[in-house]
A and B are shown apart, each in its own frame.
Chain A
Amino acid sequence: MEERTESFPQWIRIKNVLIRGGNMKIFYIDDNEAMAHTLIDEFNNKAREMKFVGDAEFIDINTYKDSSMLEFLEILYQMLSVKDNIVILDHNLEGFRFSKSGPIFGANIWKEIKINKPFSQIYILTSDEEQIERYRSESGVETIYDRDHLDNMIEHIFRIRQANDLKVDEWKNLVKSLKNPGFPSLTVARLESLIDEMEGNSLSENGGIVDETIHELIELAKKLIDKYEGDL
């Protein structure tokens, strides 16, 4: 996996998007691409906080439009592998650049979605072959990935997820240990270090690993503030 990271700088960004389960709530598929469905099923089984919507129609987007920090992956084109789709889509992570409407989706509708910014990021791939070629030439991606590569990618992502879960447990235990008098200064240093290690998770109201772990710390702070309330 490390070799591929070096070969494909996009991999780091793809990985960061995919492991942020707290933000990635919906994958949207509206074709019968078997590999895409398999991939989504695996994510759905392993990522407890991820919501899965399959075989939805475009109009259903409105149902989810108001969800905050919604991320959206639409896979429409059957001739490319899912990984290719993701790599090509990733090319658009830093900017939504849909300029040509497909046969189904009107440009005006997309424009409206963009203006209202219901999604933190929007990924679009259409069945329009010209557009696919344009994405392909812009991203420089030519490699076709097979199922083994996808398996490796998913395993890697979930190894990171499991490691994050361990960090959450460690964080909670360390915060509890702060209640004990004379806790070692190393405890604080480790807690601060864990914040860095829990990379890619937000403090936003939408959730994330840091969000999950902040509650204990706030409760501890509240007790202390309550004790000295008169002095404030």
Chain B
Amino acid sequence: MSNKYKIEFRGYSPSLPSRRNLDLKYSKSCDRDKIIKALDMDFFHKCGYCGWGSTAYSQESFQIDHFNPTIKNKEQDSYQNYVYACPICNKTKKRYVCEFDPISKEYSSLFIRNDYGLIQTNKNINPAIQKKADVILVKIGLCKDIHAFDYFMMLLNRIDENIRRSGRSKELADDKDLCESIASILSKLIKRATYYKRF
């Protein structure tokens, strides 16, 4: 299966997220807000696992996921072990240890989006890695349909922005209107689904 929309499955393009070398610790309650803000910046306002935009939630804010919750305290309570996670992924993942760090190229290559925006295992990678990806897909909940809506909303917003930047807004007014309208309706659906925790 080809990666129809070409861009990275979480929308991380051109750069993948990275963590700065910050001395912030989750165990210090006074650091938590700083960690969230730093992660929001380092992960480009997206969930590290699925790419969900951090502005799409109506009630629940994004969370600090401990990438590996099983390692010893000092390493676990380190900024290098934190992932910016949407409530869907964080709640589904729980204490599961994902083998691939979301900031790595390997993680980025594990999945693609299909024609309907759903996250699926990339069939063009090593079969052994594919098997691991299949497990991660379920364990983190990336297989849930709701991820498609946010992805489509992001693509539509990009098209809208590209049209605006190209200076062809008048010429392409119908498409621009349609982009904005569908994105607006999808946003409403997403906020509603997340409000009722239907995912």
Contacts and interface: CB of A to CB of B under 8 A. Distances in A.
A224 B178 CA distance: 8
A118 B179 CA distance: 39
A224 B156 contact: yes
A205 B145 contact: yes
A218 interface: yes
Majority SS at the chain B contact face: helix
A220 B146 contact: no
A217 B5 contact: no
B131 interface: no
Contact of A214 (B144, B178, B189): B189
Interface in A194-227: 195-196, 202-205, 210, 214, 217-218, 220-222, 224-225, 227
A221 B116 CA distance: 10
Interface residues of A, number: 28
Interface of B: 4-7, 115-117, 144-146, 148-149, 152, 155-156, 158-159, 162, 174-175, 177-179, 181-182, 184-186, 188-189, 192-193, 196, 198-199
Given A203-B146, A204-B199, A231-B159, 18 more contacts: A178-B178, A181-B174, A182-B174, A195-B188, A195-B189, A195-B192, A202-B198, A203-B145, A205-B144, A205-B145, A217-B185, A224-B156, A224-B182, A225-B156, A225-B159, A227-B175, A228-B159, A228-B162
Interface of A: 178, 181-183, 187-188, 191-192, 195-196, 202-205, 210, 214, 217-218, 220-222, 224-225, 227-229, 231-232
